[in-house]
Amino acid sequence: MAILILAIGLGGCSTVRNSALNPFNWFGGGNRDAAESGAPAPQADPRPMVERLTRLGLDRRPGGVIVSAVGLTATQGYWDAELVPSPSQVVVDPVLGRRIVPRSGEIVFEFRAAPPPAPARVGTAPSREIAVGLYLGRKSLDGVRRITVVTAGNRRSVRVR
């Protein structure tokens, strides 16, 4: 009789192992699939690239540099502009998170901006300019000789050192 109770009790352990009844699962100690344990994969940026890059600058600051860019959009009203690392240079590490890895001593950024929510006027060139800036610390610049910004119509580079 004791053996029968023991057999039934132990048989139920396999289903309890992954359930909420197991106290080892209460605080995140349960089993995780390989896909869940890593950092999320980088998503493609849905914003279009700015039409043309008109100015690119590099200002040295204590501890790093500020990359500044001015671009020309197709119409007025573009917003949420950003220098986005090229997807080929983004590495997702489960411990360190998302990092930019230079390729051949170069970091490439895409100049992207969100289009206006409704059709907008074309307007004059100065009214369609959009500016962005990005700070890169010394650690991010290890091994970097050049920073390139790419738009839909052109690209420009600046030397770091």
Domain segments of the chain as ranges: 2-31, 52-159
In sequence order, what are the beta bridge partners of 136? 65
d(CA 101, CA 88): 9
pTM of the model: 0.70
- Percent pLDDT > 70 in the chain is 73
d(CA 9, CA 141): 60
* Mean pLDDT, rounded, for 129-144: 93
* Mean pLDDT, rounded, for 99-124: 91
Under the banding of pLDDT at 50, 70 and 90, the label for residue 18 is low
d(CA 115, CA 51): 11
Radius of gyration of the CA atoms of the chain, in A: 25
